[in-house]
Amino acid sequence: MLRLLLAFTLLVTLCHSRAAESSTALPPDLKELATPAASGATAPVLARAPDGTVWLAWIEPTPAGRALRCASFDATTGQWTEARTIAPNVLRPTDEAPALTVGPAGKLTALWSAAPAPRTTPSLYVATSTDSGRTWTAPTPLTAESETTSHPALTTLADGRVLAAWLDRRGRTHGDRGPRLYARILGITPALDVLIEPLVSEAAAPALDAFPDGSAILTYRGRSDGEIRDIHIVRYHQDRWENDHVLNHDEWHVSRGPTESPQLAIAGGRVASAWFTAADSNPRVQISTSPDAGARFLMPLSVDLGHPVGRPAITLLHDGAALATWIEGESPERNAKPAGLWLRRVSPDYSLDAPTLLVADHVHRITGHPRLALLRDFNGENTTATLIVAYATEGTRGTVRTLLVTAPEVALLAAANSDCHCAPTPEQLLGYPIRGAITAVDAANGQLTAKHSELPGLMASGAHVFRVSPQLLQAIQPGREFLGRIEQRAGTWWLFDVRLLVTPPARKK
């Protein structure tokens, strides 16, 4: 598997220089989308459902206080639906972002900080909806074991269970150094809070995302005895937390915890992370990717323009390209790029394309942490990838705003292929690589059984059944080894782009 990934990287790298030149002439298209958020709304978050529907949640002022509301994006009309209330008039005045996740059958789970009367100390509360957000369960505390919870993260696992992570000051007394990091599965009995890390940075929320194989990955800003605030990664696998390690040793030493939270994106077993660091007095926004469910990461790339404020977001496409946003600050340099919210594509061969300005600072001054969600990935044909960017603005006209960004991913790949005829086609970049051996063929049902090693984040090792095309069924037989690609379509795994390996000659006795 590793050899296959390395071979693919080498293949794309051979024509990188020409592909990058072509990509600079193909900037994404931008369109502002009106949201149902009221004036003064803040703290937007985005969540993508298994069917591709994108949801937006935010905090907005009401006559009685502040409320948590949500809406979904209707891809048919190209508009947000009407706002629906998750929790009315219970939120404390804070911009601490809520968390939202969407599971099978559209089940919504929200987690937010609140201090409903008679409480004065805020804590995290959870509610769910099974009717597209029209009605919600009564808010309940996230955990009965602590009342000092904050900075939530949520994801829905492949089996429909909801996993939460948060910062927690339980057991700390005045003068203690900082919070702990906890996690738990919601809605199970008996409830069990799991301690992930006994000391973490005090103002940065963790990030969670789930893999197709039922596992998940959590990233957070750590805090060592020497006040090093680097980014950590830990995986939830087979109901255990394992392989907790530093993503990259930035060695950022800072005595007061930064509010900069790390961000995550997953595509199959691939992972991308984005974060801000100011180690060595050199502020930068970095991204790194992993081909094996977070076990190993590549050396990070700095995507900013030299004067970043931070607050990154990231998403991954089918072909391994990453799209990252961040906020760039003012530069004293002549002819410098303007301050504002920027987007940059990191190509599949892990190089940077030209950046695109999404929102100029002099037009809208952004507050809080912008968010990204993939609305539609390219499907290997003549399509584009589209994503939604959400952000909040300051001032008298401040509110939550959204942008529809259309990335010409297929055009970029076509340009690369026409320049050097060595880039994989869009179809060859769909799905995920696999090497295995055919053990059985079921022509009547259009499927075969293949044995393979573990595909991290996708499938455990062993024999699995795949749907295949009629043409492929006619060309294969049990016992043959192959290279191919797999992809989940409507809940079923398909095997395609199969190349049979030469059977080695028999050894002489």
β-sheet bridge partners, residue 343: 325, 356
Q: Is residue 391 part of a domain?
A: no
Confidence (pLDDT) at 284? 97
Confidence check: pLDDT of 89 > 90: no
Rounded Cα distance between 465 and 94, Å, is: 50
Classify residue 476: in a domain, yes or no. Answer: yes
Average pLDDT of every residue of the chain: 87
Return the minimum-mean-pLDDT range out of 39-53, 108-122, 225-239, 404-418.
404-418
In a domain, 474, yes or no: yes
Residue 6 belongs to what H/E stretch?
helix 2-13
Range of the domain at 435: 431-500
What is the per-residue pLDDT for 2? 39
Residue 45 has pLDDT above 90, yes or no: yes
In angstroms, the Cα distances linking 300 to 220, 276, 289, 355 are 16, 11, 8, 17
Domain total of the chain? 1
The pLDDT of residue 205: 96
**Is residue 459 included in any domain, yes or no?**
yes
Has residue 509 got a pLDDT over 90? no
CATH code of the domain containing 471: 2.40.50.140
| 395 domain residue, yes or no | no
pLDDT value of position 398: 87
Average of pLDDT values for 436-457? 95
Give 95-107 pLDDT, tens digit per residue.
689 999 999 999 9
CB of 54 closer than 8 Å to CB of 47: yes
Least confident of 7-11, 212-216, 433-437, 491-495: 7-11
Residue-wise pLDDT tens digits, 291-300: 999 999 999 9
Residue 403 lies in a domain: no
> Which of the four pLDDT bands, split at 50, 70 and 90, describes residue 426?
low
Estimate to the nearest angstrom the gap between the alpha carbon of 198 and the chain centroid.
25
- The whole-number average pLDDT for the span 112-134 is 88
What is the average pLDDT across 36-50?
Answer: 95
Separation between Cα atoms, residue 458 and residue 469, nearest integer Å: 21
Q: Which of residues 377 and 409 earns the better pLDDT score?
A: 377
- Picking from 178-182, 264-268, 316-320, 439-443, which range would have the lowest pLDDT averaged per residue? 316-320
Is residue 158 pLDDT above 50, yes or no? yes
Backbone Cα Rg of the chain: 23
Dihedral angle over CA of 185, 187, 191, 193, nearest 10:
30
43: left (phi over 0), alpha (psi -120 to 50) or beta: left
Quickly state the pLDDT bin for 494 (edges 50, 70, 90): very high
Q: What is the pLDDT of residue 446?
A: 94
Question: 412 falls in which pLDDT band (50, 70, 90)?
Answer: low
pLDDT tier at 507 (50, 70, 90 boundaries)? low
Residue 307 has pLDDT above 70, yes or no: yes
* pTM of this prediction exceeds 0.85: yes
pLDDT for 25: 43
Residue 445 pLDDT > 70: yes
Instruction: Please give the pLDDT value at position 471.
Output: 92
